[in-house]
């Protein structure tokens, strides 16, 4: 097949929305079809998705994406799944979905995660990971303790995109980068380590872990059943893929520590590739990047998803679509002085205390809805700044620029706020669906279209806009951020009391 006819189809399954994106070898976006990731919240803190419904929706979206691009299933060169990291997707011993899948915004195992994190020094030299509430082993331990029948039925443990790849190919594999971000892999050997399974009290689960593969490895082909569901031709190559953090970093051209990658979507993700492992004292995570370097990460579920949730809460008609153009006008017509409220974007979890909850401080009778909403935008960026500060301590200096991705990129005024709050230039890239572009870069390298990630990025990634920090706005935000940090210190001793009260009332 000639170069000008390379078409890569990416299934990008996020915690908020799932997208099917088709791109060519030049990084041109040919079609995008999106649908909401329908979360099931059967109890507070539980966020799950039905795998049958998810697969059905993916099939419809894939057929629609092909039609929109004017392509047949036979025109697709390769398929790549990209997915949210962490969470849990299980198959039973007959390789069938055994329960609803757990999304990365699930917080049911917060108490377990706190207990394990208090002992993280025992395993950090192995995995070089802190413990997070939505990691494989924490959720598996929770299921073992609370739903033992389900635990005994587990046959295979997968990440989100590896589950989707299994549905496409019938081949059960786990991609190494995702596994390393889930606290089950020795970062230096790149393989599962039994000491980690022992630490989490799930030693029997190591036998249920799939063989590990690299992001660009071919992992089977589209089956007849998957072809009927998706419209992609049977036999089309499927590559391992990666979790969305890696995909967005690649898509934005972040291949070394000259640049940071920031994703502002459901999750607050801040990363840079490094040749050195971040120490435990940094509070950062380390995982295996597709290039072979270590990806240093500071992240939490404290980003743009909080805005969508707050808009729903404050709306008179929760079914009415949000007019984001009005919000953009509000941001453009106001500045850092407009709101004096401080919003903590902890509706799905926090980056300070596993028991912390979302809250708004400083609300006065004279405040308008617009002032409250601007404080939500600002609070999200302050949460990102906390993580960027962690990365700066590891690196020792500011990067040349930050490349940003995620839902916040739909708002130029919000991207400018990121630059002002962080005091660093922020750049966006031409393609809107960066998870899709990262997946296409992976497929382009896996298929041999390009010989390296750098070669693929040089041909497929284009910077479209640069935002410079405004020193006057940065000075005001520095003062606000000081208040943000001081209030967090005051609140620190109260979160567990609040959580205890909530637990009593939920019984």
Residue 2's pLDDT is: 41
Place of tokens 């990084």: 27
* Gyration radius of the chain's alpha carbons: 22
| CATH for 142 | 3.30.420.40
Residue 233's pLDDT is: 98
Q: Which of 196, 88, 90 is nearest to 152 (CA)?
A: 90
CA distances from 465 to 23, 167, 226, 272, 447 (A): 21, 38, 39, 20, 30
Q: Are residues 298 and 401 in the same domain?
A: yes
Total domains in the fold of the chain: 2
251: left (phi over 0), alpha (psi -120 to 50) or beta: alpha
Residue 265's pLDDT is: 85
Residue 124's pLDDT is: 96
User: CA angle, corner 267, sides to 160 and 399, nearest 5?
Assistant: 115
Residue 267's pLDDT is: 85
359: left (phi over 0), alpha (psi -120 to 50) or beta: beta
Residue 348's pLDDT is: 86
Distance of CA 141 to the CA centre of its chain: 22
Helix, strand, coil tally for the chain in percent (to 5): 45, 20, 35
- Indicate the DSSP class of residue 278: P
Q: Are residues 233 and 262 in the same domain?
A: no
Residue 28 lies in a domain: yes
Residue 6's pLDDT is: 94
CA atoms within 13 A on the CB side of 349: 25
Residue 503's pLDDT is: 83
Rounded to an integer, what distance in angstroms lies between the CA atom of residue 76 and that of residue 228? 15
Q: Are residues 190 and 282 in the same domain?
A: no
| In contact, 358 and 344? CB cutoff 8 Å | yes
Q: Are residues 161 and 263 in the same domain?
A: no
Residue 155 lies in a domain: yes
Residue 443 lies in a domain: no
Cβ within 8 Å of residue 272, ≥6 positions away? 254, 256, 257, 259, 260, 261, 295, 296, 391, 395, 399
Q: Are residues 375 and 498 in the same domain?
A: yes
User: CA angle, corner 261, sides to 255 and 267, nearest 5?
Assistant: 135
Q: Domain end: 240, 270, 305, which one? A: 240
| In contact, 65 and 31? CB cutoff 8 Å | yes
Give phi and psi for 11, each to the nearest 5: -100, 105
Per residue of the chain (507 residues), give pLDDT as tens. Answer: 344 579 999 999 987 789 999 999 999 999 999 999 888 888 888 999 999 999 999 999 999 999 999 999 999 999 999 999 899 999 999 999 978 999 988 989 999 999 999 999 999 999 999 999 999 999 999 999 999 999 999 999 999 999 999 999 999 999 999 999 999 999 999 999 999 999 999 999 999 999 999 999 999 999 999 999 999 999 999 999 999 999 999 999 999 999 999 999 878 999 999 999 999 999 999 999 999 999 999 998 899 989 999 998 887 766 566 788 999 999 999 999 999 999 999 998 888 887 899 999 999 999 999 999 999 999 999 999 999 999 999 999 999 999 999 889 999 999 999 999 999 999 999 998 999 999 999 999 999 999 999 999 999 999 999 999 999 999 999 999 999 999 999 999 899 899 889 888 976
| In contact, 341 and 361? CB cutoff 8 Å | yes
Mean pLDDT across the chain: 94
Q: Which residues share a beta bridge with 295?
A: 273, 287
Residue 36 lies in a domain: yes
434-464 residue pLDDT tens: 999 999 999 999 999 999 999 999 999 999 9
- Domain range spanning residue 356? 253-432+463-507
Q: Which of 191, 172, 299, 198 is nearest to 246 (CA)?
A: 299
Cβ within 8 Å of residue 398, ≥6 positions away? 392, 423, 424
| In contact, 404 and 428? CB cutoff 8 Å | yes
């Amino acid at each position: 097949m000639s170069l000008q006819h390379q078409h890569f189809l990416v299934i990008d399954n996020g915690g908020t929305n799932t997208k099917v994106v088709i791109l060519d070898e030049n990084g041109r976006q040919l079609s995008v079809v999106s649908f909401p990731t329908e979360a099931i919240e059967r109890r507070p803190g539980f966020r799950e998705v039905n795998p049958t419904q998810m697969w059905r929706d993916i099939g419809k979206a894939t057929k629609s994406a092909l039609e929109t691009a004017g392509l047949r299933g036979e025109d697709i060169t390769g398929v790549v799944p990209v997915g949210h990291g962490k969470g849990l997707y299980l198959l039973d011993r007959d390789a069938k979905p055994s329960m609803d899948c757990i999304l990365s915004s699930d917080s049911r195992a917060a108490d377990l995660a706190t207990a394990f994190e208090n002992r993280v020094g025992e395993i950090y030299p192995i995995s070089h990971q802190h413990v997070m509430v939505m990691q494989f082993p924490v959720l598996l331990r929770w299921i073992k303790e609370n739903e033992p029948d389900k635990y005994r039925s587990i046959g295979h443990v997968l990440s989100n995109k590896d589950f989707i790849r299994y549905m496409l190919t019938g081949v059960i594999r786990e991609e190494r980068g995702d596994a390393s971000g889930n606290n089950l892999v020795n970062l230096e050997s790149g393989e599962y380590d039994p000491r980690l399974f022992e630490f989490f009290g799930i030693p029997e689960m190591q036998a249920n872990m799939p063989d590990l593969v690299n992001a660009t490895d071919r992992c089977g082909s589209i089956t007849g059943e998957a072809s009927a569901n998706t419209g992609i031709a049977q036999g089309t190559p499927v590559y391992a893929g990666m979790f969305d953090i890696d995909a967005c970093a690649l898509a934005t051209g972040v291949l070394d520590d000259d640049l940071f990658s920031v994703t502002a979507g459901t999750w607050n993700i801040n990363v840079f590739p490094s040749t050195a492992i971040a120490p435990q004292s940094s509070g950062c995570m380390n995982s295996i990047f597709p290039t072979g370097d270590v990806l240093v990460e500071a992240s939490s579920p404290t980003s743009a998803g909080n805005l969508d949730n707050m808009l729903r809460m404050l709306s008179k008609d929760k079914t009415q679509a949000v007019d984001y153009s009005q919000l953009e006008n509000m941001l453009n017509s106001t500045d850092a002085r407009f709101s004096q409220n401080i919003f903590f974007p902890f509706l799905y979890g926090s980056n300070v205390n596993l028991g912390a909850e979302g809250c708004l401080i400083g609300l006065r009778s004279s405040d308008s809805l617009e002032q409250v909403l601007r404080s939500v935008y600002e609070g999200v960026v302050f949460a990102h700044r906390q993580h960027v500060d962690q990365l700066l301590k590891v690196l020792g200096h500011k990067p040349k620029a930050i490349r940003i991705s995620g839902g916040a990129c739909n708002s130029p005024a919000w991207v400018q706020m990121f630059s002002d709050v962080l005091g660093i230039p922020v750049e966006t890239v031409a393609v809107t669906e960066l998870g899709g572009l990262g997946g296409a870069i992976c497929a382009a390298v896996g298929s041999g279209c390009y010989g390296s990630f750098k070669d693929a990025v040089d041909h497929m990634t284009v910077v479209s806009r640069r935002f410079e920090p405004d020193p006057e706005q940065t000075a005001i935000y520095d003062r606000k951020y000081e208040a943000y940090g001081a209030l967090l210190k005051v609140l620190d001793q109260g979160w567990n009391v609040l959580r205890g009260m909530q637990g009593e009332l939920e019984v």
